[in-house]
Amino acid sequence: MDTAELRDLVPAVIAVLGRRGADFASAEDAVQEALIRALETWADDPPRDPKGWLVAVAWRKFLDAARSEASRRDREVVVDAEPAAEPGPATDDTLRLYFLCAHPTLPSSAAAALTLRAVGGLTTRQIAAAYLVPEATMAQRISRAKKRIAGLPLDQPGDLATVLRVLYLVFNEGYLGDVDLAAEAMRVTRQLAALTDEPEVAGLLALMLLHHARRDSRTGPGGRLVPLAAQDRRRWDTTLIAEGVTVLQTALARDRLGQYQAQAAIAALHADARSAAETDWVQIVEWYDELLAITDSPVVRLNRAVAVGEADGAGAGLAALAAVDPDVPRHAAVAAHLHERAGDLERAAGLYAEAAGAATSVPERDHLTREAARVREQSRSTR
């Protein structure tokens, strides 16, 4: 059993301890200790029943901690005979655990960290490395999150939209430190998809798969950002694309469209095109219209303006862009692209430079700076 398969067991084991009477924070701590012990010992002596082993060890850790706490407070803890190691089904409890970790009362950063630890099975050190913060800082963040939800039972109704938003937030962090957060988000989302037949869960998984399929082509030598139109499509992972399309088709067949399914449909159309020139922009605009009907997001309107510019010409794209708040991130970059397509090179160069100044990452800033220089040179050569 590899470490990913081992971590897949973590939420079910926490749920078992919860059903035996452990509170969430204590159960999660005990399972983390059991997980660390497993990583240290299983390579030489793997158990026949990994889940049962984790439950037994975690339960003992919980009891030891409970007795220690009781002794410190000078009170008795009454403990029945330890239950058998073989755990019963915990599907419902595991699903509720997702909802608890992504509780609406938690800040997004705390919910993401708690989900990675309690559901994803990552250690605090791994999560800290992924987010490039000191381990003590991450431990404090997770501890505060657990205290905030300490009084909430596992049987409380959860908000699936919040769970999906947290998982997508983790996915978009990509690769940081020693942990591939995009891969972890997909792994955890697969777990969630196995627990529920909600089409939006499948839609999110499909979206992740389709985006991740293009990962290796997004950067060039020296970490240079490569825009979608310029990517080498031979480097796209066709296995992930095929899986993403299959998952999406199954979700769409349920006829309960949601924002992640619509986004995945757009990603699938990009993946289906053999070249940038063959992209079905008309259909992409139609899917953006569907997405806008679900969530009237300014970011969606911005991306739709790009698609309209490709489908109906730069003028139509600029008209669509006029309805988008200029303060929306990447507005200047989209305006630059559309003005370049319209032939207004001087205006486009200025907008590319403006967008570079507002970029939030070094690769994006460098890319936009190069675009500004390229268009400015073209403008000079046409005078």
Q: Are 66 and 35 in contact (CB under 8 A)?
A: no
Whether 105 maps to a domain, the answer reads no
Indicate if the alpha-carbon torsion angle 331, 334, 336, 341 is positive or negative: negative
Residues 252 and 318 in one domain: no
From the list 203, 197, 192, the residue with the least C-alpha distance to 97 is 192
How far is the C-alpha of 115 from the C-alpha of 126, rounded, in Å?
Answer: 13
From the list 102, 18, 17, 8, the residue with the least C-alpha distance to 55 is 17
Whether 129 maps to a domain, the answer reads no
Tell me what pLDDT residue 175 has: 62
Residues 205 and 265 in one domain: yes
Indicate if the alpha-carbon torsion angle 173, 175, 178, 183 is positive or negative: positive
Whether 247 maps to a domain, the answer reads yes
Whether 345 maps to a domain, the answer reads yes
Q: What domain range is 214 assigned to? A: 197-219+232-271
Tokens 């947290």 belong to residue: 166
Whether 308 maps to a domain, the answer reads yes
Whether 115 maps to a domain, the answer reads no
| pLDDT tens-digit profile, the chain (383 residues) | 677 778 888 888 888 888 888 888 888 889 889 988 888 888 877 888 888 999 999 999 989 888 766 655 543 444 444 444 444 444 556 777 888 888 888 888 888 888 888 888 888 888 888 887 899 999 999 999 988 887 776 555 567 888 898 899 889 877 655 678 888 889 889 989 988 889 999 999 999 999 999 999 999 988 899 999 999 999 999 999 999 999 999 999 999 999 999 999 999 999 999 999 999 999 999 999 999 999 989 999 999 999 999 999 999 999 999 999 999 999 999 999 999 999 999 999 999 999 999 998 899 999 999 999 999 999 888 76
Q: How many domains does the chain have?
A: 4
Residues 308 and 251 in one domain: no
Residues 324 and 339 in one domain: no
Whether 314 maps to a domain, the answer reads yes
Residues 284 and 261 in one domain: no
| Distances in whole angstroms, Cα of residue 263 to Cα of each of 96, 160, 234, 295 | 26, 17, 23, 11
Whether 93 maps to a domain, the answer reads no
